[in-house]
Chain A
Amino acid sequence: MSGQLIASIADGVVLAAILAVAAMGFTLQFSLTNVLNLSFGSVMTVGAFVAYLIAVVHLTPWLGIALGGVAGAVTTVVLGRGVLRLYARRRTQLFEMMMVTLGLSLIIDYTVQAISHNNIYGYSVLQGSALEMGPIRVTPVQVGIVILALVVLLATWGALKFTRMGKALRATAVEPGLARACGIPTGRVVLVTWVASGFLCGLAGVVFVISTQSVDYTTGEGFLPLVIAAAILGGVGNLWGAVGASLVMGIVTEVVAGLGQGGYSTVAGFAILVVVLLLRPGAVFGGSEDRQLVL
């Protein structure tokens, strides 16, 4: 039985890696703009479909991964700069902005549905035979996903910590007014954030479908609640927190699935969020209502 447990934990780490890539992108976006972006999942879907199309024309899947990320970045910038700004100019409040992103996600999802004829497309790339280590059985691509997540984590962390733009971003996230007053070009900071988080979003979409081996219009939307939960659980804007929360949620999900309760596995992941919320609301929901929109 403990072998099963170890195997489930390993599976959880793989799931957590996918989740972490998305949660990092989400938390980055959220901490700066304060918009709880419900169209994040739809952008993941867009990235995944781009990667699928690359596979259809028989180009290397690596290109698909890169272009999926680029597609995510482009879509996010268009949405952020084009649409959300339009609403920001109309003094749409923070909370209404979330409703706007929800509308966007409906539009994107069902446009993708219309274009994809509501079909599910198989996407089997980079699969190889399994490696066996005791009770753990993983495929090379899963190991690759975990490594990718680590690389993304270190790269993002490094960029935030050591580059000028990273510092500017953190300053703007904490105190946008002050940052602007100090001469930080907040507009450019926001743009860079859209690009970076959008890239991570698209990337997460591709990684997700590499794992599921199929893509359809609900791909990202179904995954989004886990992403939001991980980002909130980890503390908004907290990169390491997002990764830690992803690990907890991934492992719990797979352990519950491993116990034969597949239907309840995702539920268990969310249950953690609820429990934390019940026990220590302050720890998770520190922010106040006065946060302002930064676009």
Chain B
Amino acid sequence: MGPEASAATPPFPMPAGSAPILEVSEVAVGYGGVRAVDGVSLGISPGEVLGVIGPNGAGKSSLLGAIGGQVRASRGRVQLGDRDVTRMMPHQRARLGLMRTFQTTSEFSRMTVFENLVTSAEGNSGASLAAVVLHPHRTAVREREVAERAWSVLERFEMTHTADLYGRELSGGQRRLVEIMRCLMREPRVLLLDEPMVGVAPHLTGKLIDDLRGVAREGLGILIVEHALEVVHRLCDRVVVMAFGKVIAAGAFEEVVKDPQVQSAYLS
């Protein structure tokens, strides 16, 4: 099964000149007999936005799960920089700078936006009971630093007015934004976004795209699963098309949409 699967995967052209920050090779995910992801390989360079598109049930979210650690990969390898993270727990990957959002909104609904951000920060001392109990002073200092960062992130996204609102009191678009802001609390190296535009009001989409491009320019790699093709077009440097758990095409947006294989996959 393995060799055929890998043979079917088209070679993925790496952008010349820079080492990939995230490298996924031959990853497979199975749920009791069903192969959701079947030998997918791809890579992202710093500063690059890679789109993953494909029809429903193509295995896009499962792939994201395998990279983020929420889903166990039955085969293959996920490498972040020079670290192999395939067997790591999600929180370990996050601490290495691999951050993600979820398909259904995942804000902490009974915490304020401010708390949402602070909790996700790098060096959040709340992650360790020992730190909180044994080093109260250090904790207080960290808290101040973290709060400062949270305010700057809120300001950057013009969301300071929501700081005291509970997650569940936000609009759909605001929730998406909170998720992204949360990820940025950690200076991620790679950002995985699962349909970030769902629920975002159309007039805000443009701004969010600009924001994300701005984030990417700071040198992190973004992998984005998205249905809205015009968003993918405007946002992504390159696109990977998945169907039935496999990559069927890859390249610039304009090229792949012309691919007959892609067109038939979308039509079926």
Contacts and interface: CB of A to CB of B under 8 A. Distances in A.
A–B contact via C-beta, under 8 angstroms: yes
Interface of A: 282, 286, 290
Nearest to B71: A288
B55 to A, nearest CB: 15
Contact of A290 (B31, B32, B104): B104
A281 B31 CA distance: 14
B32 A286 contact: yes
A290 B31 CA distance: 15
Interface of B: 31-32, 72, 104
A211 B35 CA distance: 46
**When A and B form their complex, which 4 residue pairs have the shortest distance between CB atoms, in order from nearest?**
A286-B32, A290-B104, A286-B31, A282-B72
A286 B30 CA distance: 12
Contacts of B32: 286
Contacts of A282: 72
A199 B259 CA distance: 56
A282 B72 CA distance: 10
Contacts of B72: 282
A96 to B, nearest CB: 14
A108 B199 CA distance: 43
Contacts of B104: 290
B60 to A, nearest CB: 16
4 contacts: A282-B72, A286-B31, A286-B32, A290-B104
A271 B105 CA distance: 38
Contacts of A286: 31-32
A167 B14 CA distance: 48
Contacts of A290: 104
B72 to A, nearest CB: 8
A290 B105 CA distance: 12
Nearest to A286: B32
B207 to A, nearest CB: 29
A237 to B, nearest CB: 12
A131 to B, nearest CB: 42
A290 B61 CA distance: 14
Nearest to B65: A288
Contacts of B31: 286
Nearest to B31: A286
Nearest to B102: A290
A282 B30 CA distance: 12
A290 B104 CA distance: 9
A62 B104 CA distance: 52
A290 B194 CA distance: 15
Nearest to A282: B72
Nearest to A283: B32
Nearest to A290: B104
A74 B154 CA distance: 55
A51 B98 CA distance: 61
A232 to B, nearest CB: 16
B195 to A, nearest CB: 14
A282 B71 CA distance: 11
A28 to B, nearest CB: 20
A206 B182 CA distance: 55
A290 B103 CA distance: 11
A282 B29 CA distance: 14
A146 B215 CA distance: 66
